[in-house]
Chains A and B, each alone.
Chain A
Amino acid sequence: MKRRKGTNENLMTKAGGELDDRFKLAGPARVLMNKVFPDHWSFLLGEIALFSFILLLLTGTFLALFFEPSMTHVTYEGSYVPLQGVGMSKAYESTLNISFEVRGGLIMRQMHHWASLLFMAAILVHMMRVFFTGAFRAPRETNWMIGILLFWLGFFNGFTGYSLPDDGLSGTGLRIAEGMTESVPFLGPWVSAALFGGAFPGDEVIARFYILHVFVLPLALLALITVHVGLVFAQKHTQWPGPGRTEHNVVGYRMFPNYVMKQVGFMLLVFGVVTAMSGLFQINPLWMFGPYEASVVSSGSQPDFYVMFMDGLIRLFPAWEFRVPPYFTLPAVFWPGIVGMGLSVLLPLLYPLLERRFTKDRGHHNLLQRPRDTPARTGLGVMVIVFWVIGVVSGGNDVFAQAFHISLNAMTWGGRIGIVVLPIVAYYLTYRFCLGLQQHDREVLAHGLETGILMRDPEGRFYEVHQPLVEPDERGHTELEYSGATVPKKMNRIGVLEPAQRGFFKSIEEPSDEDGRRDQIETGNKR
C-alpha cells in the first residue's frame, strides 16, 4: 500500500513538472487555488443561473439533433393519434417526433424548458439580491449593466425558443410580437416585413429564429456570462460587514478545496432537481395545442412567466390611439409594448449611475448594505417588484377571473388602478418598515436582547428581562455602535439555548480534548 502511494505522488509531481515546463502554471495555479471567497447563501443565486445555463446548452444540443427548423408543409403521420392526418409545418412535426418518437426525447424537451424557467427565475432573484444589498455600486456598475443585458438576452432567447415548435401557442405569441412590431411609427411595417420575409407568418421566421436561438443569442450570453463571472473574480466578491471585515479585505474560505467542492455539489443539486422535475411535471404539452393556424386560439393561452409581465402591461393599457386621419396612426400597443419594453431595458441599465447622481456617493464599496439601512432604495425596489407582479398577474387575468369567479372587467380595472396606486403604497410601507427595523436594531444595541422572561417587580409591575450584549453601565445601557452587520435578536444567536449534546437517540459526540485542538491550530497539522 505505502509504496504504491509513493509512486502516485511521484507521478503527480512529474506530470505537474511537465505541464509547468510548457505552460508555466505553478504561480497562477497557486494564486487560483488559494483565492479567498466570502460565504453567504445569497451569493449562490447567480450560480443557479449559471448552472441552469449549462444545462440549457447540454439539453439544447440534444434537441438540435432532431429538430427541423422548417416551415415546409407536411401531413402528420406519427403515433400521436389525435393529430394523425393533420397538416402542419415540419418544425411542429419534428417537435412532436422528439416527444413521441425519440427515445428519451420528451424528458430532454422538458428539461430544456424547465431549465429555461429556472434560468430566468434565478436571474431575477439574483438581480434582486444585487440590488437590495447595493452590490451594484462602484466599482461593480459594469457588472450590473452586463447583468441587465443578460436578463434581456435570456428573455429573447426564451421567446425565440418557445416560438420554434410552431404550435398553436407559439404562433399566437409570434402574432402578438408582430402586432407590436407593426406599431412602431414609420419603421414598423418594414421591420415586420424584414423579420417575416413578407406578410405574417410567411415561411421564413422559424429558420431565422432558429439561428438566433441556437447560435447568436447563446453565443452572446456565453460571452457576457464569461465576462460577468470573470469580473466577479477579478474585482473580488463583496462581503457582508462583520467582525474583522473591512473594505480592504475578503474574509472567507479558500477556492480549493472548499469553494470548488461546494460549487460542484450545488451544480449537481441544480441538475438533479431539474431532471427530477422534468420527469415528473409536464411542461408545454404542445401536442394539445395543435399546429399554428391564424384563425385558432384557445383562451387561457399564457406565455412563459418572464414574458407575462409584458403581456399584462399590454392588457392593462387603455385604448388610447392617436390618430390624424388619414395620414397617421399611433397604435395603443406602442406605449406598453415598445416604449414600456425600452424603458425596462434602459432604466435598470442606468440605475447605478442614477443612484450615484442622487446620493453623490462616488466611493468604492466592497461591503454590502442591509436593505433596512437604505430605505429609499429598498422602497424603490419593492415598488418595482409590486409593479412587476401586478403586470404578471394581469398577464393571466383571464385565468384568475375564471378560477376565482371574478369578472374579467373587474380584474382589468383592478389591475389598471392597482398598477398605479399599489407601487406607491408599497414604497411608503417599505420605507416605514425599514425605519422600524433600524430602530429595533438600535434598541437591542442599547438595551440588549429580549429574553422572553417576564418579571414582576415589588410594586407589581411586569417587565421583560433583557440580556445586554456587553457589560452595561450603571444605568443598564450599553454603548454599542451599529456597524451595518446583523444584530442578534434571539437568545440562541448568542449561543444560549443550544442543544448541549448532538445526536438523536444517543450522543454521537465524544468529549473533545481541548488541548489537542489548540495544538493543531498552532501547527496546522491535521494528523
Chain B
Amino acid sequence: MRRFTDRLKETPSQTAGPYVHIGTTPGFIGIGGVYPADHGAVMVNESARGERITITGSIFDGAGAPLRDALLEIWQADANGLFNSRSERRGTADPGFSGWGRQPVDLETGIYRFETIKPGRVPYPDGRLQAPHVMFWIVARGINIGLHTRMYFGDEEAANAEDPVLARIEHKMRLPTLVAAADVSTYTFDIHLQGEKETVFFDI
C-alpha cells in the first residue's frame, strides 16, 4: 500500500497578471490565426438539454471599482446533475453540454457573461442533494491564487434553504453574496473581493 507521508509539494501559485488573455482567450484581444476559437467560449450546442440561461455580472475590488482584467471560469453539472468529466461514474453526461466555460470581463466595462444551462442537483458526499449551483474560479492581476466560489440561483429558494454547503456558512448575512438575482432566464452574479458585501470564497 502506498504511503502518503512523502508527498511532493504542489507547485505554488502566482498571479495570472494583466495579460492572461494572450494565453487563454487570444481571440478576445484580436489575436487570430493560431487557435480556431477561444477555448471555453461556447458551452452549449443546439442539442443540449435543459433551460438556456445567461449569467452576468462584475467583479469589484475593495474600492468598489470593477476589475477590467479578470478571467472567470465556471464548471457545473448538466441538466440532470451529471458532470461531463472522465471521472463521472454515475452515468453519461449530456454530450451537447461541456459544463466548463471561460470568459474574460470586458476590458472597458468589466462585465462578464456566460451562456449556459441551468444545472441539475448534485449529491453532497453524505447523499443529501445540493441546490443547483455553478462553481466559479477567478484569476486576475493582484490575485495571487485563484479564488473559488459558487453561484446559487435566486429562484431556487426551497433548494437553497436545504443546501448543505450554504448551511455551513455561519454568518447568515453573508448568504446573499452567493445567490444570483433572477430575471426570467438571466442571473446577475456580482463578486465583491472585499468590503461589507465580500463574497464567500472557498478553500476546496
A and B physically associate: no
